[in-house]
Amino acid sequence: MTGRAPHTPAVSPPVAYLERASALCLRPAPGRLAGFFGTGAHRLALRALARPLVAGEPVVAADGGNRFDPYEISRAERALGGNGRLALSRIFVSRAFTCHQMEALLSRRFGSALARSGARIAVVFGLPETFTDADVPFAEACRVFRSCLSALQRLTAGGIRVVLVGEGDAGGISLEETPGSAVSLFATASAASGDKSPGKGAAPAGGGDRAGFFRHLVRIADPCLLLRREGEGWRATLRGKAAGNAGSSPRKGNR
């Protein structure tokens, strides 16, 4: 006897749970922004997109920081019995590598791309990742962030289903926080940028803490599929009004 507790291998969240949660995140309620956030969020969101794409639904995507991986969609399509090429023919991707490029893409070009393609799903990969550049003053980053959110909210008002996808540390975010009501959790950085209006334009607090952009998106997304590390494994949790009784995946597990 060594006195050590026996090792219990971790199991991954059930596939059925992830598929159901992912499907809900691709169909937010009118006026809501949905989200996939945390460890492996881009990979999971790309896999989830294969099903509506194969079914004939076009998708327009903004790729922040080169996060879009076409091979994930191809593999997911083949798992559904396809040839791995049909889904990719129905997704239209534009790239942005800085927060200013992302702002221009979302506010000036995204709407016309949706109109041309007939898509009703707009996916934004890596939005928080484009706000990590310390060379952009924090007040300016907050202004650009508000502009991006305003552009996305205009799309939701027009009936577009907007889905945000971002990688980041979700460990400090409480699972009990209510999605869609994050304004009270954030002070504004308006004084520095000259905009004192709260509400939709609220920017993350934190005295220049750029991780606040990621946390803000997690808190406003509804539904939100949150993927987080727990010890040697990970846990998937679906939050929001659309989640119903889904809750967290039963066990954490190695990926």
Whether 252 is covered by a domain: the verdict is: no
Count: domains in the chain? 1
Rounded Cα–Cα distance for residues 81 and 184 (Å): 46
φ, ψ of residue 23 in degrees (nearest 5): -60, -40
| C-beta separation of 149 from 187 below 8 A | no
Whether 119 is covered by a domain: the verdict is: yes
Tell me the DSSP string of 209-220: -THHHHHHHHHH
- CATH code, domain carrying 215: 3.40.50.300
The boundaries of the domain holding residue 171 are 15-243
pTM score above 0.85: no
Whether 197 is covered by a domain: the verdict is: yes
Predicted confidence pLDDT, tens digits, the chain (255 residues):
444 444 444 445 678 888 999 999 999 999 999 999 998 999 999 999 999 999 999 999 999 989 999 999 999 999 999 999 999 999 999 999 999 999 999 999 999 999 999 999 999 999 999 999 999 999 999 999 999 999 999 999 999 999 999 998 766 666 555 454 443 333 333 333 344 433 444 555 444 678 899 999 999 999 999 998 777 777 899 998 866 545 555 444 444
With a CB cutoff of 8 Å and minimum separation 6, the contacts of 236 are 13, 17, 18, 21, 225, 226, 227, 248, 249
